[in-house]
Amino acid sequence: MDALLTFIGYEAVWLSAVIGAGRGLAWPGLGAAAVFVAWRMAVSRSRGLALGLLVLSLVIGGALSYWAAARGWHAVQFPSDPRASLAALAIGWAAALPLLSVAARRIAGGRS
């Protein structure tokens, strides 16, 4: 049952992203993804593994989003061989995300 609910969640996120993009809106896909990630983290039996996979996907996705922006919209320029630049972006995201996570926890802890 868990696999079926996960599949339905993935499809709902994808559908929200596509419908939102068709109307020029990013927030429906982002909102659906945020709800899906929060739900998966809440019901996961191995939160450490789930969090690790989430961070890995964000690091890879962060670097690949720059590559897609360079290829599709020419919003970013890379050298003819972008591997080193993409690796640097991935390393940057890998360093930034844990730091942002720690900062968010401290900020949230300070309000409690």
Q: CA distances (Å), 26 to each of 17, 22, 23, 64, 76, in order?
A: 7, 9, 9, 18, 19
Co-location of 3 and 38 in the same domain: yes
The tens digit of pLDDT for each residue in 23-51 reads 888 788 888 988 988 888 888 888 888 88
DSSP state letter for 73: I
Q: Check whether 110 has a pLDDT greater than 80.
A: no
Which of residues 80 and 104 earns the better pLDDT score?
A: 80
Tell me how far apart the alpha carbons of residues 112 and 94 are, in angstroms, rounded to a whole number.
28
Co-location of 22 and 51 in the same domain: no
Matching residue, tokens 């690796």:
87
Co-location of 38 and 80 in the same domain: no
Co-location of 64 and 82 in the same domain: yes
Co-location of 102 and 77 in the same domain: yes
What pLDDT shows up at residue 111? 53
Tell me how far apart the alpha carbons of residues 54 and 48 are, in angstroms, rounded to a whole number.
10
Query: Alpha carbon 11 to chain centroid distance?
Result: 16
Co-location of 15 and 64 in the same domain: no
Co-location of 95 and 60 in the same domain: yes
What pLDDT shows up at residue 112? 41
Co-location of 53 and 106 in the same domain: yes
pTM for the full predicted model: 0.54
Co-location of 4 and 25 in the same domain: yes
Co-location of 92 and 109 in the same domain: yes
Tell me how far apart the alpha carbons of residues 37 and 9 are, in angstroms, rounded to a whole number.
9
Please give the residue range of the domain that contains residue 91.
46-112
Co-location of 39 and 57 in the same domain: no
The tens digit of pLDDT for each residue in 51-89 reads 888 777 777 777 777 777 778 778 778 888 888 888 888
What pLDDT shows up at residue 82? 84
